[in-house]
Structure 1
Amino acid sequence: MPASSGAVTVRPVRRADLEQVISLDATVTGVEKRSYWERVFRRYGQAARAEQRWFLVAVAGKEVVGFLIGEVRDWEFGSPPCGWLFAIDIEPRARQAGIGTRLLAALCEGLRAAGVRKLRTMLSSDNTLILSFFRSQGMMAAPMIPLEMDLAPAERA
């Protein structure tokens, strides 16, 4: 599936694509998260254009071979509006064909049109596959520090 073949179309997600998105995610992560994806679809897949949210799919024929989700976030911790990419995945059989690059380019085009000049994402430091992809796209370490803490389970009454 060469990237230049034109065999892949990048477009906004449709409700009919959701089963394939769920299946693709489960293939890659090993966990089916149906209720999560239903919420994501409601928030991002049905967003009005003015909401500056993108849920894009890459489709080859009738098969979803990749997806990407991002949005504009404004003024968090004093940061000017910037794009955030929080999900991208490509069907393992279709990797190395430029599909991730096309999805990312479509998001960047939308962000530029919204006046955004910076794109951010986060990933696990041991996820070398996605880290390599992001670096190949020109992304680099940001001057931000992610912080986290463990939470004890809620007490049951």
Structure 2
Amino acid sequence: MIYNQSKLEVHFRPAEPNDLEQIVKLDKQVSGIEKGDYWMERFTQLHGGLGGHIFIAEKQNAESSDLLGFIVGEVRAWEFGSRPCGWIFALAVDPEYRIQGIGEKLFKEISSVFKENGATSVRTMVARKDQLNMSFFRAQGMMGGPFIELEKAI
């Protein structure tokens, strides 16, 4: 799918193995943490037919394409009695291209696929202090759900 964002032509598509290097680079830029091994493992799992999805947003030019953002998730079911739902566990948009609807369109793309796969809701987890992502997901219509995260240091 292609959207023209005020002279910025953005193409949205499922990620391919040759996108992994750019995904790792953007994730490090946004999170400040190098997680190459993690992304290699996740990419292998998600592309191994286990129901996961990775979508990217890219800016294309004559020589190459530049990754502007990505979203990662999967449909899960029956964990603690939960009906099938889509789980988003990663979202990143290049800071230079934020506030242009890229994250929103990535969210819509993955939500549509979740629905096709039987999900009736979308979930994610956001750190309490992460106002950027909290605001983004709330703007997409998300709110507190029926579950409470519990945690214990070990």
Q: Higher strand share goes to which structure? A: 2
Question: Which residue in the other structure is 2:23 paired with?
Answer: 21
The Cα shift of 1:116 comes to: 1.3
Q: Is the 8 A contact 1:2 1:98 kept in 2?
A: no
Counterparts of 1:84 and 1:7 in 2: how far apart (Å)? 28
- CA RMSD of the aligned region, Å? 1.6
Note the 1:1-80 alignment, pairs <5 A.
Answer: 3=5, 7-44=9-46, 46-48=47-49, 51-61=50-60, 62-80=65-83
Runs (4+) of structure 1 moved beyond 4 Å?
A: none
CA contact (8 A) 1:2 1:97 kept: no
Between the aligned partners of 2:96 and 2:134, the Cα distance in structure 1 is: 19
3-state DSSP of counterpart to 2:106: helix
Q: CA deviation at 1:114?
A: 1.5
* Structure 2 counterpart of 1:133, one-letter code: F
Match of 1:72, as an amino acid?
Answer: V
Structure 1 stretches lacking a partner, 5+ long: 152-157
Any unmatched runs of 5+ in structure 2?
none
Identity of aligned residues (%): 39
For residues 112-153 of structure 1, give each alpha carbon's deviation from its aligned partner in whole angstroms, at most 9, with x where no partner exists.
1112111111010000000000011100111211011111xx
Aligned residues: 148
**Cα offset, 1:5, TM superposition:** 5.3
Residues 1:100 and 1:93: Cα distance change in structure 2 (over 3 Å): same
Whether the aligned pair in 2 keeps the contact of 1:22 and 1:32 (CA below 8 Å) is yes
Equivalent residue of 2:132, what SS?
helix
2:150 maps to 147
SS at match of 1:88: strand
